Amino acid sequence: MSAKQQRKGRGGELELSRILQAAGFPVQPGQAVSFGAVPDLVGLPGVHVEVKRVERLNVENAMDQAARDAERFGDGVPCVFHRKNRRPWLVTMMLDDWLDMYGMKGGDNNDDSDGKSADGAAALPDQGND
């Protein structure tokens, strides 16, 4: 990894930490150029944060890295926070983990089912907004 790539990655970690802190989350960036010795960000309860600030992200590889690191650090579900230049931040995580966070665990979601009910309508949980 070039020095320019390292600076861009570190800049992404600092930028994201400021955004999350402004939203009230007690996160702190990891060490600069730690090469995986510490998480990118710490302090987001139940979430392992992997930060990627690149133009071309291989999402599967990034999630694999986040999953390995989440297991190693034991700090929560693996999530990749990523953005390109002049684009907003995105968050990628496993659907099962997202469902767990919202108490809607529905089983194995690694299949190709379309998530629709028998009548073809999207099967969404009742959110109690009536």
Extents of the domains making up the chain = 3-101
Phi, psi of 107 (to 5 degrees): 105, -160
Count of residues in the chain: 130
Let me know: does 81 contact 91? Beta carbons within 8 Å.
yes
pLDDT tens, residue order, the chain (130 aa)? 688 877 888 899 999 999 999 999 999 998 766 556 788 899 999 999 999 999 999 999 999 999 999 999 999 999 999 999 999 999 999 999 999 988 887 655 555 544 444 444 444 444 454 4
Fold of the 3-101 domain: Trna Endonuclease; Chain: A, domain 1 (3.40.1350)
- Least Cα distance to 95 among 104, 82, 87, 83 occurs for 104
